[in-house]
DNA sequence: AGCACGCCGACT
DNA sequence: GTCGGCGTGCTC
């Protein structure tokens, strides 16, 4: 039996299966999806088995056996291995990279080796200048067994060469194995007496001086249940020493017991029952239920206005799904994965919910993952990567706020969770529900059949035969028919004309004052996308730039340090301008900070919670602020994007947007869409309950369609206008994009390679039979733009150029690109410069 | 990615 | 004469 193994080296040259024999002892254990340690080029690496075969593809004499099997149960299943293969092809990454994102970081094994002395009685004094054994050799001898290589290196850092030599000469034998980074958590547990008669007797005869010990013993005899040491200490208000003393007498037993970490341990989630559905919810529910009943892999776009009760629909469709003994995955944008959100799922489904988010420790995430794989959880709620939750039979995948760009991973593999979800659902015959108040144009186009199916959904690229597309399920009304909040646009140019130079318009000022008097709460959004805190000289215009990347340094108030977001370079902020020596160097602090100061000035005694990167980096701080706000310990919640998502506070009756336009004019074709989405989302935070809500939007572009449509809660109007622009400019959803970034330290090399890639690609496209490569009817075309300097032209001392490929229809763009790259690469496939590919990019800044 | 093999400069 | 620079090639 031969195992096809993908080794954990993410490079083009090794991105293919290598064959290994399976040692007799492991036959039957090694499966597709197994994680193994294999000898590879003189060392032992972690690898994944992606196939089993009777015969090897290479000469049998070259084969080596698998060195070890790393898990009893394979961490991946065949369907996930297949999904990884799809990801590596579609998103242009090494297969091992795709496999790695599917397992928790705790299982990313690293080689760990031990050495032993091969022949004990030899005289090795010749190894070093002195008498007898070298100190490191003596150390190994003294230990009497295998010594960890890492320990040896740490203790004898100067003898690395000698130790290596000894291994080579066969004096030392090295044994390598893969060690996981995971630690199983153990808890010291107290067990009741085995011998009750003896214990009863001891209890009666306990020395009067050991009352506490007696109490411990009595407790254990009465309760007869194992209890953790810490809990026992707490209940009897004693010390572990006392308990140990009882154990030393042999009356009770102490044992280390493996436990699961539960990040939500000790939290009681109030059980909730399904709510009666409104007519609109019911109709949507039935559509989805029908697909669940039929085990049909269908995609639904649930377009529900803010406050229309999407979550309740999710909960009830999940319940339906669970009835078929199939599992459900719920994806939520990281930032919306708040305790409020988790509570709703835990409240309905209790312990069968596993929660996966980035704030968990490696160990916690591993335990939640195991809970899923071992069938103890039926529902997984999590961010992007939860789409890989290792369920056996997925019946339903829900993607909440499907338009969020955080579903696209920006590092390799640069996958989009929405597209992966659709693909995974197809494997399992599962339904996909994409929910949003402001669907992405791509999803909306797919659902409303504006375009031919083949160009609509990313997934339909590889199967023109599948109908692609999605079914549109609208929920246009709020629960209880609550009105949408009234949105006022304030033209800030008029404010300036009227002599108001403050960042608050007179209307917003008044409204804030009003809420303060009534004791109601307000949310203030500072739309700060694309604007960071930087250092600038007011006299000469100098701005502090990173010496390695062409980008402004970000100023951190606390430490007065300027830092580069891309490479981490940091330096002290200067006292005076380094070019003109002027003292007028200004630090433009975070926008939110300035707003906070202004608020304090205008409204003395106002209680403000500020949420931005500075105040929410600490673990749990995000929750802390929101809880405080929920308890009405503040009048105003001020923040960036993060205050716009999924929050639901009954006393919020005013939402103010300080500058709606900041994201409108970014050089990104999605700028208008992002602005519309943000305004709509944040407006939805107001008046969700009994109290009516009001929204005040300050802008310099009160006639822009993105802002006007948001004012009228008119998604359809926005889409109609935006689609016109997209069609005219040939952007998604009217075509698909691939951005290829080339980077190198040498500019000349880079330019040559860039030109070569683009011309090769154009030639290939021309030859590929897309006649004239721009098809006149527009149903199929491919267009190659560039190379041009990237928006960040230099990063980490490397220059960057990019090409953009626009295409539509089944033109095999990814294959053409693959071909072109291999044509400009060397014989081993080594590219002349570093090439990184982003398929369906979300941010084109 | 690492590591070995291999062909040209400054040293005991 | 050798030690060692890192270019090229390979890892089942």
Give the nucleotide nearest to A59 (CA→C1').
Answer: C12
Residue-wise pLDDT for A556-609, tens only, equals 766 778 887 777 788 888 888 888 888 888 776 567 878 888 899 999 999 999
More confident call, A221 vs A322: A322
Does A546 show up as a binding residue in the annotation?
Answer: yes
**Confidence band of A141 (pLDDT split at 50, 70, 90):** confident
Looking at residue A120, its pLDDT comes to 65
Q: Which neighbouring-strand residues pair with A740? A: A803, A837
| CB-contacts to strand C (7 A) | A 9, 11, 13-14, 18-21, 38-41, 56-58, 62-64, 826-828
**CB A826 within 7 Å, strand B:** no
Q: How far is the CA of A162 from the C1' of B12 (A)?
A: 22
Q: How far is the CA of A157 from the C1' of B4 (A)?
A: 25
Does A93 show up as a binding residue in the annotation?
Answer: no
Does A803 show up as a binding residue in the annotation?
Answer: no
More confident call, A646 vs A731: A731
Looking at residue A454, its pLDDT comes to 39
A561-563 and A570-572 as β-strands: parallel, antiparallel, unpaired?
antiparallel
**Confidence band of A532 (pLDDT split at 50, 70, 90):** low
More confident call, A664 vs A719: A719
Peptide bond into A112 cis (omega under 30): no
Return the SS3 of A347.
helix
Listed as ranges, the nucleotides of chain B within 7 A of a protein C-beta are 1-4
Q: Dig out the tokens for A551 from the structure.
A: 């980008």
**Confidence band of A99 (pLDDT split at 50, 70, 90):** very high
Residue-wise pLDDT for A217-256, tens only, equals 888 888 887 888 888 887 777 888 888 888 888 788 887 7
Return the SS3 of A488.
strand
Listed as ranges, the nucleotides of chain C within 7 A of a protein C-beta are 9-12
For A547-560, the DSSP string reads SSSSSBPEEETTTT
Residue-wise pLDDT for A668-719, tens only, equals 899 999 999 999 988 888 777 777 889 999 999 899 999 999 999 999 999 9
Q: How far is the CA of A632 from the C1' of C12 (A)?
A: 64
Phi, psi of A428 (to 5 degrees): -100, 0
**Is there a contact between A607 and A637 (Cβ–Cβ < 8 Å)?**
no
Q: How far is the CA of A687 from the C1' of B4 (A)?
A: 70
Looking at residue A422, its pLDDT comes to 96
Q: Which residue has the tokens 């290196």?
A: A153
Q: Which alpha helices (DSSP H) does A26-134 contain, by range?
A: 78-90, 95-100
Give the nucleotide nearest to A19 (CA→C1').
Answer: C12
Q: How far is the CA of A807 from the C1' of B7 (A)?
A: 47
Q: Dig out the tokens for A122 from the structure.
A: 């030899």
Looking at residue A529, its pLDDT comes to 52
Q: What does the DSSP 8-state code read for residue A186?
A: E
Looking at residue A791, its pLDDT comes to 85
Q: Distances from the Cα of A465 to the Cαs of A224, A469, A472, A586, A810, in angstroms?
A: 65, 12, 20, 60, 11
Return the SS3 of A713.
coil
Looking at residue A458, its pLDDT comes to 44
Give the nucleotide nearest to A17 (CA→C1').
Answer: C12
Q: Which alpha helices (DSSP H) does A399-440 contain, by range?
A: 417-428
Residue nearest to nucleotide C9 (CA to C1'): A828
What's the distance, Cα to Cα, between the start and end of chain A in Å? 50
Q: What does the DSSP 8-state code read for residue A828?
A: T
Looking at residue A185, its pLDDT comes to 66
**Confidence band of A359 (pLDDT split at 50, 70, 90):** confident
**Confidence band of A544 (pLDDT split at 50, 70, 90):** confident
What would you report as the CA-atom Rg of chain A, rounded to the nearest whole angstrom?
Answer: 31
User: CA geometry: angle at A153 spanning A151 and A154, to 5°?
Assistant: 65
Q: How far is C-alpha A798 from the chain's CA centre?
A: 27
**Is there a contact between A626 and A638 (Cβ–Cβ < 8 Å)?**
no
Longest Cα–Cα distance in chain A: 100
> Would you say residue A620 has pLDDT above 60?
yes
Looking at residue A688, its pLDDT comes to 72
Residue nearest to nucleotide B1 (CA to C1'): A9
Query: C-alpha dihedral over A593, A595, A599, A601, to 10 degrees?
Result: 70
Which residue spans within A670-735 are E strands per DSSP? Answer: 694-699
Distance between CA atoms of A533 and A587, rounded to whole angstroms?
7
Does A321 show up as a binding residue in the annotation?
Answer: no
More confident call, A350 vs A211: A350
- Give the pLDDT mean for A455-475: 59
> Would you say residue A770 has pLDDT above 70?
no
Distance between CA atoms of A27 and A29, rounded to whole angstroms?
5
- Laid out side by side, the sheet with A608-611 consists of A486-491, A694-699, A652-657, A521-525, A636-639, A608-611
Q: How far is C-alpha A778 from the chain's CA centre?
A: 36
Does A564 show up as a binding residue in the annotation?
Answer: yes
> Would you say residue A93 has pLDDT above 90?
yes
Range with the poorest average pLDDT among A149-153, A716-720, A721-725: A149-153
More confident call, A75 vs A181: A75
**Confidence band of A98 (pLDDT split at 50, 70, 90):** very high
> Would you say residue A387 has pLDDT above 60?
yes
Residue nearest to nucleotide B2 (CA to C1'): A41
Distance between CA atoms of A225 and A223, rounded to whole angstroms?
5
For the whole model, what pTM was predicted? 0.86
Percent of chain A topping pLDDT 70: 93
Residue-wise pLDDT for A118-136, tens only, equals 776 677 777 777 777 888 8
Q: How far is the CA of A402 from the C1' of B1 (A)?
A: 37
More confident call, A502 vs A514: A514
**Confidence band of A453 (pLDDT split at 50, 70, 90):** very low
Return the SS3 of A48.
strand
**Confidence band of A332 (pLDDT split at 50, 70, 90):** very high
Q: How far is the CA of A44 from the C1' of B4 (A)?
A: 17
Q: How far is the CA of A165 from the C1' of C1 (A)?
A: 25
Burial class (CB in 10 A: 0-12, 13-18, 19+), A62: exposed
Distance between CA atoms of A535 and A361, rounded to whole angstroms?
35
Distance between CA atoms of A256 and A259, rounded to whole angstroms?
9
């Amino acid at each position: 039996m031969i195992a096809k193994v993908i080794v954990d080296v993410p490079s083009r040259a090794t991105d293919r299966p290598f064959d290994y024999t399976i040692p007799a002892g492991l036959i039957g254990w090694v499966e597709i999806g197994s994680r193994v340690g294999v000898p590879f080029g003189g060392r032992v690496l972690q690898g994944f088995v992606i196939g089993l075969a009777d015969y090897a593809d290479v000469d049998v004499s070259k084969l080596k056996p698998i060195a070890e099997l790393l898990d009893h149960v394979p961490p991946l299943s065949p369907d996930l291995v297949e999904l990884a293969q799809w990801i590596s092809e579609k998103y242009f990454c090494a297969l091992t990279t795709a496999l790695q994102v599917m397992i928790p970081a705790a299982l990313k094994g690293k080689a760990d080796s031990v050495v032993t002395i091969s022949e004990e009685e030899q005289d090795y004094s010749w190894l070093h200048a002195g008498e007898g054994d070298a100190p490191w050799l003596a150390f190994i001898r003294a230990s009497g067994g295998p010594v960890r290589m890492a320990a040896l290196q740490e203790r004898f850092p100067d003898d690395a060469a000698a130790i290596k030599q000894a291994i080579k000469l066969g004096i030392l034998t090295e044994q390598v194995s893969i060690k996981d980074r995971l630690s199983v958590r153990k808890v010291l547990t107290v067990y009741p007496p085995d011998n009750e008669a003896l214990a009863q007797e001891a209890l009666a005869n306990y020395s009067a001086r050991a009352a506490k010990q007696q109490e411990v013993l009595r407790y254990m005899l009465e309760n007869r249940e194992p209890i953790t040491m810490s809990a026992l200490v707490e209940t009897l208000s004693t010390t572990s020493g006392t308990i140990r003393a009882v154990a030393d007498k042999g009356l009770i037993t102490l044992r280390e017991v493996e436990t699961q970490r539960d990040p939500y341990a000790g939290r009681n989630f109030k059980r909730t029952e399904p709510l009666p559905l409104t007519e609109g919810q019911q109709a949507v529910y039935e559509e989805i239920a029908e697909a669940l009943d039929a085990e049909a892999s269908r995609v639904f776009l649930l377009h529900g206005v803010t406050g229309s009760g999407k979550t309740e629909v999710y909960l009830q469709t999940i319940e339906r799904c669970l009835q078929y003994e199939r599992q459900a995955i719920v994806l939520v944008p990281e930032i919306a994965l708040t305790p409020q959100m988790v509570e709703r799922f835990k409240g309905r489904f209790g312990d069968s919910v596993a929660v996966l988010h980035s704030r968990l420790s490696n160990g916690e995430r591993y335990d939640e993952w195991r809970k899923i794989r071992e069938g103890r959880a039926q529902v997984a709620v999590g961010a992007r990567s939860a789409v890989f939750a290792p369920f056996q039979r997925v019946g339903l995948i829900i993607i909440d706020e499907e338009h969020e760009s955080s579903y696209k991973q920006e590092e390799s593999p640069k996958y989009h969770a929405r597209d992966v979800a659709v693909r995974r659902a197809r494997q399992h015959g599962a339904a996909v529900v994409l929910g949003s108040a402001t669907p992405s144009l791509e999803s909306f186009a797919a659902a409303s059949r504006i375009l031919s199916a083949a160009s609509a959904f990313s997934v339909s690229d590889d199967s023109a035969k599948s109908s692609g597309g999605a079914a549109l399920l609208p929920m246009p009304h709020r629960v209880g028919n609550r009105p949408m909040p009234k949105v006022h646009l304030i033209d800030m140019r008029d404010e300036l004309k009227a002599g108001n130079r403050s960042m608050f318009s007179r209307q917003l000022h008044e409204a804030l004052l009003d809420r303060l008097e009534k004791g109601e709460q307000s949310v203030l959004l500072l739309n700060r996308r694309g604007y960071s805190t930087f250092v600038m000289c007011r006299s000469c215009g100098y701005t502090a730039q990173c010496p390695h990347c062409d980008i402004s340094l970000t100023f951190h108030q606390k430490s007065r340090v300027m830092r580069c977001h891309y490479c981490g370079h940091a330096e002290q902020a200067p006292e005076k301008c380094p070019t003109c020596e002027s003292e007028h160097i200004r630090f433009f602090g975070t926008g939110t900070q300035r707003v906070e100061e202004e608020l304090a000035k205008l409204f003395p005694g106002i209680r403000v919670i500020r949420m931005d990167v500075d105040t929410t980096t600490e673990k749990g701080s995000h929750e802390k602020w929101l809880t405080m706000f929920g308890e009405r310990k503040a009048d105003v919640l001020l923040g960036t994007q993060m205050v716009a998502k999924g929050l639901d506070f009954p006393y919020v009756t005013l939402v103010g947007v300080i500058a709606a336009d900041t994201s409108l004019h970014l050089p990104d074709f999605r700028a208008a869409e992002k602005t519309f989405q943000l305004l709509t989302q944040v407006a939805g935070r107001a008046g969700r309950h009994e109290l009516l809500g009001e929204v005040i939007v300050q802008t310099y572009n009160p006639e822009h369609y993105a802002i006007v449509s948001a004012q009228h809660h008119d998604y359809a109007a926005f889409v109609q206008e935006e689609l016109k622009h997209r069609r005219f400019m040939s952007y998604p959803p009217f075509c698909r994009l691939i951005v290829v970034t080339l980077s190198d330290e040498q500019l000349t090399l880079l330019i040559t390679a860039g030109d070569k890639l683009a011309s090769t690609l154009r030639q290939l496209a021309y030859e590929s039979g897309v006649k004239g490569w721009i098809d006149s009817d527009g149903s199929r075309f491919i267009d190659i733009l560039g190379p041009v300097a990237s928006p960040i032209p230099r990063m980490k001392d490397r220059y960057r150029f990019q090409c953009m490929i626009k295409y539509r229809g089944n033109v095999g763009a990814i294959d053409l690109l693959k071909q072109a790259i291999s044509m400009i690469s060397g014989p081993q496939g080594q590219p002349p410069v570093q090439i990184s590919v982003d398929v369906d990019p979300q941010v084109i800044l």
